[in-house]
Structure 1
């Protein structure tokens, strides 16, 4: 099978991780071509050598009539050059431009977090509705996304496929937060939806624990003594080896890869009750999903970390949940079933 995987940005991120894992796995028995546009290009470095990589310089996240038209022309050329059996579109921008060009019966579109459209960019929702029949399948990465697609009137061949990851590999030594009995990690960019403010408020309420943030692009100043910002680190998920609990405060999510990475190491998770998080983090089983208040986060973090029996139980349950349904093999099989519809 000849499979075209297309995504807007060539930088590393959650949706790009899905493309990387899908492409690398599928390339064992299929011809895979990965296409992407603007970004720092770090995604290319993570792809197997046998995967053909195509950069489209006009493909950008921002709306631009000229760039978008040139991207459509590039897509047409790609289609007639490769004659793919499947075109898999990732992200809303590519999802629209790709569905203009490619045949319905060959096209699969994955929505990586429908709330980004439903809430943050709702003005584009009519476009999504209009194009819903221009593909063989629309895929949400959680039951939450699938239900919201249905609720918004996008009901044509909608499926759910959980994201899948490999456990991050490598060696790491935590050089900060020495002297703290417990360490809490968050991996996210510093942006309004990711609630760095709530992370700081929670840390102030639990000064006995170290709170570590990975993903800030700039130096963070005037931090509480127990907060450590390590910057933007490649393969940051490996730091889950060195911590006790993973925290993610957010206004909206699909199914965050950073939570799956923590789960692959058997780490309990306390996260916002948004998106599909509660489908993999179950209260009183392997962690908690909570309201976006520092009090709620602090209460559950302390409960998990201060009870050794609870901590060990949650850790074991977390690892079992990951192996049961959140691996790359599970994700690839689900997408192959959709490709072969």
Structure 2
């Protein structure tokens, strides 16, 4: 079979979905990937994928560029003539789905989260929902990463086709191996992994870090991720003051998780937060906002703590509560998190779900 994958950036495709691509290639399928060119494309090509460059602005709202993307997808599908198209993230889902409908090509869609344009009510939300309704209507299967997103799409009458709930992208338990908890040296090391942007809760985190450091100066906040919005100056100033340590984009995230005592994610919305899965898989407790896509990844007081979204006060309370925990309890939280990942979030669950649906389509073609 020929498989065409539409995605918006290489890092997500490589870090969270390469096992599905490898499985398809191992079963003698041709796998074409359509996305913007970046440093992850050579890695994807080494797996055996065939790359097609696609210009796409992940967060842009220019309708002319979006029409160009749709036309590009139509032309691409006609040229490759895939047996099935797999789409990930909002624009590939919407415009890729529409292109598949126009060309009468089977497609499977993954709802990786609602995104800011859907979360915030108003005209942009209405347009986005309408586009989703058009693009997703004929999908062979819609994968959802949490119950809340699925319910939202059902309530909005967007979903017309088969749906399946999967545990996010799952986590590669072999890559994110269990790590012994750091020694009790009197330091409290918290890690944030994500893009530096408002919707990831970066503003609340920076304010909380200032408050916590003042009360507990032996606390360290390490931040990893690309600065996607204008926080450069603020990050540099707080780094200079020793309130945070900003490390920029990093390829080896696991080495940072290994040194940390807990991972913090104050995100406003998620499909399923991969950083929380990876941290828990490595044996680290997680502190996360109580939003869909985060709350499912930990058990309250067992493998992590939740806090109210967009609340600096609630975030500070959770951090201090964790700091005050006896060392052995922190360690036990990490072990509980790993067990939860093994039971509920093994990436093999996601791979099997995809292969089921692709094989169903293959059976229909015979």
Shorter-normalised TM-score: what interval? Answer: 0.7 to 0.9
User: In 2 relative to 1, CA 222–80 (structure 1 residues): closer, same or farther, beyond 3 Å?
Assistant: closer
Distance 1:99 1:216, change over 3 A: closer
Query: Is the Cα contact below 8 Å between 2:191 and 2:262 reproduced in 1?
Result: yes
CA distance in 2, matches of 1:269, 1:278: 10
Instruction: Give the distance between the partners of 2:106 and 2:95, measured in 1 at CA.
Output: 15
2:304 is the alignment partner of 1:287? yes
Query: What SS class does the counterpart of residue 211 from structure 1 fall into?
Result: strand
Matches within 5 A, 1:1-341: 1-10=1-10, 12-13=11-12, 17-38=15-36, 41-47=38-44, 48-57=46-55, 59-61=56-58, 62-64=60-62, 67-103=65-101, 106-120=106-120, 121-122=124-125, 123-156=127-160, 157-162=162-167, 163-166=169-172, 181-203=187-209, 204-205=211-212, 206-217=216-227, 218=232, 220-223=235-238, 224-292=241-309, 293-305=311-323, 306-341=325-360
Asked if structure 2 preserves the Cα contact closer than 8 Å seen for 1:5 and 1:32, the reply is: no
- SS in structure 1 at match of 2:26: coil
Match of 1:175 in 2: none
Question: In the superposition, relative to structure 1, how do residues 79 and 87 fare at CA in structure 2: closer, same or farther (>3 Å)?
Answer: same
After TM superposition, give the deviation of residue 169 of structure 1 in Å.
5.3
Structure 1: 5+ residue stretches without partners: 171-178
Write 1 or 2 for the structure with the bigger share of helix: 2
Question: 8 Å contact 2:116–2:199 — kept in the other structure?
Answer: no
Query: TM-score if structure 2 supplies the norm length?
Result: 0.80
Unaligned runs of 5+ in 2: 177-184, 361-366
TM-score by length of 1: 0.86
Q: Provide the C-alpha distance between the structure 2 equivalents of 1:238 and 1:3, rounded to a whole number of angstroms.
A: 34
**1:222 match: secondary structure:** helix
Give yes or no for contact 1:5–1:35 (8 Å, CA) kept in 2. Answer: yes
Judge conservation of contact 1:105–1:135 (CA < 8 Å) in 2: no
